[in-house]
Every structure is written in C-alpha cells, then in structure tokens.
Amino acid sequence: MPKRFRMTRRFPAAMTEDGYRKLTRFADDAGLNRAEALSFMFENLDKLLDADEVPSRLRKFKLTMDGGKL
C-alpha cells in the first residue's frame, strides 16, 4: 500500500461553487480526499497548466468575479 503524505498545513479558503464541484469530482475520480487533490494540483501545477493559455483564462475569471474578490 502506498505511503500517504502527511498534511502539514491548513488554511481557510473560499471557492466558487463551480470550482468546488470540479475539485470534488476530480478528488472522487482520483480516489483522493479534497485536501489531497488540492495538494496534488498545486504540487504539479507547472505540469498541469498550458502556460500560454493561463493569462487569458485568468483575465476571463477576474471579469466574472464581483469586483475581483471572492
């Protein structure tokens, strides 16, 4: 059985409903809990992102947020 990483940091975070649903779906599909799924995504962020597409997606996301804040 693979050794599980120990979760050492906790922080309060706010997410959109769509983001939370996608995180939950990804975690369920991968057999992880939500904290493990977030850790995986952030630890592998540079390999998961299309660096050319990030700026335009970030601009779109900011436009949809009320005043740019969650």
Cα gap 16→52, rounded to integer Å: 24
**Number of residues that this document lists for the chain:** 70
Band of pLDDT at residue 15, cut at 50, 70 and 90: very high
pLDDT in tens, 29-54: 999 999 999 999 999 999 999 999 99
Residue 68 has pLDDT above 60, yes or no: no
The predicted model scores a pTM of 0.75
Measured in degrees and rounded to the nearest 5, phi and psi for residue 68 equal 75, 10
- Contact of 36 with 28, CB cutoff 8 Å: no
- Contact of 34 with 24, CB cutoff 8 Å: yes
